Structure 1
Amino acid sequence: MSTRSQPSQSAPELALEIKGLEKVYGKAGGSRQKHALKGIDLAVPRGSIFALLGPNGAGKSTMINILAGMVNKTAGTAKVWGIDIDEDPRQARAAIGIVPQELNIDAFFSPRELLDLQAGLYGVPKAERRTQEILDLVELGDKADAYTRSLSGGMRRRLLVAKAMVHNPPILVLDEPTAGVDIELRRKLWDNVRELNRRGVTILLTTHYLEEAEELCDRIAIINHGEVIACDTKENLMQRIDVKSVTVTVAETLPEDSDKLPQPLQPFSVSITGQNQLTFTFRKSDGPIARILGALAAANFHIQDISTDESDLEDIFLALTSNDPETDRFHAA
């Protein structure tokens, strides 16, 4: 398995650099105007796997389509691999490969024919085409000459990735790459993405499977109503909701009301969640586990089982994109 290739001296530090990007649909001043992007600022480091998350209609696809040259922006600037999309649109488009959500594959071509055709559209000379190498990379080498209509859904997804790689772009955009794919095939796609990243490709991923972003990505941005509302490393984002719970199963029968629990447990935020279960909720930064265990011992409870539950990316996503006032659980890092 190959290792990550070393970037050339001219390679930019940022694979994507977006400043003040706006897109307004509809006539100026019209009643049906839609402000899809509202001054987006985004920086995607070279060599990263970067997640762009957001609810439906948040503006993710509009931003991607602007980068791909399929939608004209209203204002702002965008650079793809250091190339301004207005000053040199052709080179900017050549630096990016787009893997769409839709399975737009001609059923009567083989994977080899599709990749050769795609390479021809990008002007890649025959001597420089890497058709078999790319098919092997996405584990479709043995299906190179089969009709694509005979491929499974997961194989077609991988074929879309292969099509986006024919011109050797340094940036690959994956738009919902595992939509409708079962767990086993999703894992295989994840392995393909990691291998591409090891080879030096910068990955921009949009997904509604938040565990996918949590598993794969090192940086995450969340967009909502056309604005970036969070952008940070995965580790920093995961620390933004400072809530944790511990559920303890005890041998003793508990009272029906938590107010009647023994005095050593009264200082804690604790609820009775089962006949023999107590759930303690607290701030992770307070770290009171030892005190909780000490209080249970002081109350003469005998622990039979203990489990913990921490906030995950889904909690953070919901806290940031929800209109629920309870989002004050969110604490900026």
Structure 2
Amino acid sequence: MAVIEINELTKTYHGTQALNGVSLRVERGEIFGIAGPNGAGKTTIVECVSGLRRPDGGTVRVLGLNPQNNRRALLQRIGAQLQEAALPDGIKVGEALRMYASFYDNPADWRAVMDEWGLTGRKGTRFASLSGGWKQRLFIALALVGDPEVVLLDELTTGLDPDARRTTWVLIRAMRDRGVTVVLVTHFMDEAEALCDRIAIVSGGRVIAEGSPRELITEARAASLEDAYFALTGRN
């Protein structure tokens, strides 16, 4: 069953077409990857899905809702960690979780979420004092504190060291195992190959390939998803 349906989505910024007829379908309970080079339109897709950006054309339905016309209802059912996510330096981990929980009509127990994601020992730690890996762990917890059905994660592991990236991968798999549908935007092909059930490769505002990692590797006659990505996008 599809939880996200995008048909012929278009968006132009100042004369530059960011999206040019994007169509995607995300099924319930999968990790769906959106991969592509910088400027390909990945973040714009996520912003349209979350209701932060109004498309110029096409349709978007998330859990059967129009993100523009039903934004408040939709925000009660989805969670998001967007590329420019940040918190005030002085806010403490527990304070942030408690505050985010107050935004929802039926949130998860923020203390339980804090404990589940290993943050209880850092409840009183200020955001500015957290390492990059712990900040990302907090952002995941904040995305989940509303007990969402769908979570949008945009470039979650950019800037993390290898150990922190691997730990974050474990957390993402745990979300899927809980029954949460995950949309993961990434430009790391090892990450997409390790985590995603299906992947859409976006380039120049278009979906140029879509399928499971194995299907894309086979289509490109490549040895790995990274090699397939370069073959499909025509990049060296």
**2:12 corresponds to:** 24
Q: Find the partner of 1:77 among 59, 62, 71.
A: 59
Structure 1 residues 323 and 147, CA gap change in structure 2 (3 angstroms): closer
**1:64 corresponds to:** 46
Q: Which runs of 4+ in 1 moved over 6 A?
A: none
Q: Find the partner of 1:97 among 79, 101, 123.
A: 79
Superposed CA RMSD in Å reads: 1.6
Contact residue 108 and residue 147 of structure 2 kept, 8 A: no
Unaligned runs of 5+ in 1: 1-12, 27-32, 244-310, 325-333
**2:220 corresponds to:** 241
Question: How far off is 1:129 after superposition?
Answer: 4.5
Q: Count how many residue pairs are aligned between Structure 1 and Structure 2.
A: 236
Amino acid at match of 2:27: P
Contact residue 101 and residue 179 of structure 1 kept, 8 A: no
**1:318 corresponds to:** 230
Greater Cα shift, 173-182 or 315-324? 315-324
Correspondence 1:146-165 to 2 at 5 A: 146-165=125-144
Correspondence 1:167-316 to 2 at 5 A: 167-242=146-221, 311-316=223-228
For the residues of structure 2 that align with 1:84 and 1:100, how far apart are their CA atoms? 20
For the residues of structure 2 that align with 1:123 and 1:230, how far apart are their CA atoms? 37
Contact residue 16 and residue 78 of structure 1 kept, 8 A: yes
Unaligned runs of 5+ in 2: none
Contact residue 154 and residue 181 of structure 1 kept, 8 A: yes
Contact residue 19 and residue 78 of structure 1 kept, 8 A: yes
The answer to which structure, 1 or 2, has the higher relative contact order (CA under 8 A, 6+ apart) is 2
For the residues of structure 2 that align with 1:103 and 1:231, how far apart are their CA atoms? 28
For the residues of structure 2 that align with 1:228 and 1:137, how far apart are their CA atoms? 36
For the residues of structure 1 that align with 2:68 and 2:122, how far apart are their CA atoms? 39
Contact residue 140 and residue 159 of structure 1 kept, 8 A: yes
Contact residue 137 and residue 192 of structure 1 kept, 8 A: no
For the residues of structure 1 that align with 2:195 and 2:59, how far apart are their CA atoms? 28
Q: Find the partner of 1:41 among 6, 23, 31.
A: 23
1:15 aligned onto 2:3: yes
Question: How far off is 1:323 after superposition?
Answer: 6.2
1:158-180: CA deviation from partner (whole Å, max 9, x where unpaired): 11111111211111111111111
Could you tell me the TM-score, scaled by structure 1's length?
Answer: 0.67
For the residues of structure 1 that align with 2:206 and 2:31, how far apart are their CA atoms? 21
Correspondence 1:45-56 to 2 at 5 A: 45-56=27-38
1:118 aligned onto 2:100: yes
Contact residue 51 and residue 221 of structure 1 kept, 8 A: yes
Greater Cα radius of gyration, structure 1 or 2? 1
Structure 1 residues 103 and 63, CA gap change in structure 2 (3 angstroms): closer
Question: How far off is 1:221 after superposition?
Answer: 0.5
Identity percentage of aligned residues: 36
**1:278 corresponds to:** none
Could you tell me the TM-score, scaled by structure 2's length?
Answer: 0.94
**1:132 corresponds to:** 111
Question: How far off is 1:236 after superposition?
Answer: 1.1
Contact residue 193 and residue 213 of structure 2 kept, 8 A: yes
Q: Secondary structure at the match of 1:240?
A: helix
Structure 1 residues 242 and 177, CA gap change in structure 2 (3 angstroms): same
For the residues of structure 1 that align with 2:28 and 2:104, how far apart are their CA atoms? 25
Amino acid at match of 1:317: Y
Structure 1 residues 124 and 142, CA gap change in structure 2 (3 angstroms): farther
